[in-house]
Structure 1
Amino acid sequence: MLLLLLSGCGTSNGKPAAQELNLVLAGMDGSDAVSFEGAAALLIGGQTVSESALYYGGKIEDHNKVSLYSLLPDEPGGTKAAALEGLNKLEQSRSATPAYYTRLEKKDGEWLMQSSSPESGAGNPLTALNPLRQLEELEQLEKQVTEETGSARGSKVLRIKLSPGEAKRQLKAQLEREMQAIRPAAGNAQDTAGQRSEVTTAMNTLWAQKEKELQQKLAQAEISSVYFLKVDTKRNLPKRLTWTRTVSHPASGDPAEVETYVTKVDFYGYH
């Protein structure tokens, strides 16, 4: 959340910050391969949900292929610190055992899963952490781009804040993808009486109920979505992408219901 207090404005070398962002994204498109390492965590009411926090890494190849793997923290309680401190601790958990793996490829404008562990992809959080997809989205989203002051020599930091409406549309699209991924089968199974399976019917009814509840809750929520993109000014390439999304429910007035999702990914080894 401290990142939200570090906003600035201005231009770089006389260029508008939005133009700088487009140049950086174009530079990323021109790279044949790059490796990355990152971390993610969900906070509810300011407290980190320990099972949500993970460290991950991977590689981007041929502009449209991404492989990701995750590591679980190997120190009990290592993810129970506050947001950014928790992420820093996760980055130090390098000796853990891989828990998930997925390989994605972009075809006809869509990111498709080519392989996954577990094989079904159920419960695999890595698809949403595809850093190339995150960068691609920044080019299309309705946003305000400014440049932070006080960046270290050889780098600059762009602050990208989505409009409230765009932040909500982005989250809605993500939730719809996730809900469709867990939607029960159409329910063609039949019993000896020729009736649809009661189990299948119950599963579909439950899914429809939860989907309706999710849409109602989202409609009442306020969403804030802010990115910080650290750029290597010498090569005009991304060095780090940090993203903070905050979901609050003003009608409830309960700060414990505020959800904050934080991700941070570092890029290296460009070629």
Structure 2
Amino acid sequence: MMKLLRLRTGILILLMLCVLPFTGCAVMKDKPAAEDLSLVMAGMDGSDGVSFEGAAALLVGGKAVPESSIYYGGKVADHNKISLYSLLPDGGHPASAAESGPHPLGQGPGEAPVYYTRLVKEDGTWTMKQGSPALAGSNPLEALNPLRQLEDLERLDKKVTEEAGSARGTRVLRIELTAEAARSQLSAELEREMQAIRPVAGSGAVTAAGTHAEALEAKTALWEQKQSELQQRLDQADIRTIYYLKVDPKRNLPARLTWNRTLTYLGKAGTTTEETYITQVDFYGYQ
């Protein structure tokens, strides 16, 4: 009887060992990757601060638009305060930039324009508290806030998988937004950008009351036209947004975040146009 019991026990263990690899593989395709993303986000929330450097560029028809490229760096402090500033392609600061304080907008011969902004999260919303004065609402750094990008990964509908072929000792998560989430994300960003440049009374040079009213009316009409054109293009575009999150396996913290967004739409001439917006940011110096 004991021999029979041992035999049955041995068979059960053998069956479990045979089945587990297959069930493990099935689970690994989805749930663990999503759980890893949650753990990484929790680790990021628990860190007091981090430094980062990144770059962003726009490609149209597969070709880079030179004036769209920007290199930037920054620091996160106290979980909800971020300072961002522009960098040169080699990682250095432009001649007139100073990391310790607000950067004036200065561009001498052969120099890159200097951008600076300081953001604070209040009541769940990121607000610009300080920035390059001459840029007004067009500061490109505000959209490059890496914490906002990571927050989007948490709240938006997505599919999370592990990227095959990752280097030994590293893990890369592939996060693709659903079509609806990708459109909603871009629509919200464009709305923020359009509202930032909306003409308001009192802006611009001081002129006679009648002249100023006419100028404001003309600017508002142009703004509304451009907003309508932008919304129409957005409604007709195919949007695909994919993130790649490289994870530091020892600390379960983000090491690199790459974000690719591709829009495909019909241009004015009826030809198909493809635009790809790419950002990549590296995190280091966690506190």
Letter in 1 for 2:230: L
Q: Determine the structure 1 residue equivalent to 2:263.
A: 247
Greater relative CO, 1 or 2 (CA 8 Å, sep 6+): 1
Classify 1:204/1:268 alpha carbon distance in 2 versus 1 (closer, same or farther; 3 Å): same
TM-score with structure 2 setting the length: 0.78
Q: For the Cα contact (< 8 Å) 1:187–1:197, is it kept in 2?
A: no
Distance in 2, matches of 1:61 and 1:112, equals 15
Classify 1:171/1:15 alpha carbon distance in 2 versus 1 (closer, same or farther; 3 Å): closer
Q: Determine the structure 2 residue equivalent to 1:206.
A: 222
Gaps of 5+ in 2: 1-24, 98-113
Classify 1:144/1:250 alpha carbon distance in 2 versus 1 (closer, same or farther; 3 Å): farther
Q: Which of 104, 119, 122 is equivalent to 1:104?
A: 119
Q: Deviations over 1:201-224 (max 9, x none)?
A: 101111111111111111100000
Identity %: 59
Letter in 2 for 1:228: Y
TM-score with structure 1 setting the length: 0.82
User: SS of 2:166's equivalent?
Assistant: coil
- Which deviates more, 246-255 or 94-103? 246-255
Please show how residues 119-268 of structure 1 align to structure 2 within 5 Å: 120-186=135-201, 197-249=213-265, 254-255=271-272, 257-268=273-284
Q: For the Cα contact (< 8 Å) 1:190–1:197, is it kept in 2?
A: no
- Which deviates more, 36-45 or 11-20? 11-20
Q: Which of 56, 63, 68 is equivalent to 2:79?
A: 63
Instruction: Write out the 4+ residue segments of structure 1 that deviate beyond 4 Å after TM superposition.
Output: 9-15, 186-193, 250-253
Deviation at 1:96, TM superposition (A): 4.0
Mark the structure with the bigger radius of gyration.
2
Q: Determine the structure 2 residue equivalent to 1:76.
A: none
CA RMSD of superposed structures (Å): 2.5
Distance in 1, matches of 2:166 and 2:28, equals 11
User: SS of 1:226's equivalent?
Assistant: strand
Deviation at 1:154, TM superposition (A): 2.5
Q: For the Cα contact (< 8 Å) 1:11–1:146, is it kept in 2?
A: no
Letter in 1 for 2:185: Q
Q: Deviations over 1:180-235 (max 9, x none)?
A: 00000147999567x97111110111111111111111110000000000001110
